[in-house]
Chain A
Amino acid sequence: MLKKLFVLACLLVFSATSAMAHSALMSCFDEGDGTITCEGGFSDGSSASGVEFRVEQNGKVILKTKMNEYSEVNFKKPSGKYQAVFNAGEGHAVYVDGKDIVE
């Protein structure tokens, strides 16, 4: 029993360390064709494929999807102010303001 608890404790510590050891990253650019491409990733180089991605405007979610196999999302550029959100879990969300996304 004690051994099982120890293994569980070790696993918990290990998984917690893994989660803390890297940070979520996102970078976006204007394709110049009326669309925006956002790329997601992590500081340890791991893929962001399948991670949630949102576009928010005036506090509302106007697009909710997942990063593709290349850890990217391409979407139509919204008119007005907007935010791109890479949501890799609690404490791992990255926000990029639309005004900072340029060609």
Chain B
Amino acid sequence: MKQLIMVFIFALVAGNALAHFQMVYTPNSALEKPSVIELRHVFNHPFADEHTMEMGLQHDSKTPAPVEEFYVINKGKKKDLLPTLKPITWKGTTNSAGGYASTYKARRMGDHLFVMKPAPYYESNEDIYIQQITKMVVNVAGAPTDWDAELGLKAEIVPLNKPYSIWTGSTFTGIVKQNGKPVPFAEIEVEYLNHDVDITANAMGKKRFSAPQDSFVTQGIKADANGQFTFGLPKAGWWGFCALGAGSDTEHKGKELSQDAVIWVEAKDMQ
């Protein structure tokens, strides 16, 4: 009986551990004209929202480690946005944890490709660190400029269709890369941001859909031999793709590190 309980606990812990997602959230990725946009950076589980994690949590310190890099690229020009990050407490459905808020003036036409590289997060359930290098693209006025840029990151998903220009019911295709090279048969997790977001209150809002079974909460897929994958998006809103352990760094502070590549894409309804 004890063994059975242990198996259940392990399954629950493993299930939760697999579904972490670094969010770089903004309400709208396809802007009609230059705008000032709000961004929220939260480490959580976007479908179930059962637990929000403290960004940059370390195993040997009570103080979270700061974000390593946060920048934007527009028309090939890189701008450091680290000074724009302001610590916040994000209210999830069941708990609150530290994240960041930032404001950005999306002034220039074209793509604004954001890259967030948080400090590795210590996951005590597995005694490992997780670092999710996250990309998100906002477009101004429809002109394509930087959305498909290959940045040669340690872990990166390079999109093959525009992350901000996807009809609900169509697909997203990307290639998982490590230092610019495709990762064959990469393991990818897909989650839908299944809650309204109250950006003013820094909180998750109402839940949208229920999953028929646990395998639908975090959808596990694999890339092909060229590191490429395609996934259909059945509902409007934000979808996160996370290539697990795709990065070249494998250790942090003497512990195992899962360096993941995350990209967020937004599907929109035909109206």
A contact set with B: CB distance below 8 Å:
23, 25-29, 39, 41-45, 70, 100, 102
A38 to B, closest residue via Cβ? B109
Does B141 contact A25, Cβ atoms closer than 8 Å?
yes
Question: Which of B39-47, B120-128, B142-150, B226-234 lines the interface with chain A?
Answer: B142-150
* B 26-72 contacts with A by CB, 8 A: 33-34
Closest chain A CB from B103 CB (angstroms): 14
Does A29 contact B107, Cβ atoms closer than 8 Å?
yes
Give bound CA distance, A42 to B141, whole Å.
Answer: 10
Measured between beta carbons, the chain B residues less than 8 angstroms from A25 are 109, 141-143
Measured between beta carbons, the chain B residues less than 8 angstroms from A100 are 33
Give bound CA distance, A102 to B108, whole Å.
Answer: 12
| Number of A-B residue pairs with CB-CB distance less than 8 Å in the complex they form | 38
Question: Quick check: is B137 within 8 A (CB to CB) of the other chain?
Answer: no
Does A39 contact B144, Cβ atoms closer than 8 Å?
no
Residue from A28, A45, A70, A102 in contact with B143 in the complex, judged by beta carbons closer than 8 Å: A45
Does A43 contact B142, Cβ atoms closer than 8 Å?
yes
Measured between beta carbons, the chain A residues less than 8 angstroms from B108 are 27, 39
Measured between beta carbons, the chain A residues less than 8 angstroms from B34 are 27-29, 102
Give bound CA distance, A41 to B144, whole Å.
Answer: 9
Measured between beta carbons, the chain A residues less than 8 angstroms from B119 are none
Question: Quick check: is B110 within 8 A (CB to CB) of the other chain?
Answer: yes
Given A27-B34, A27-B140, does the pair A39, B145 have CB atoms closer than 8 Å? no
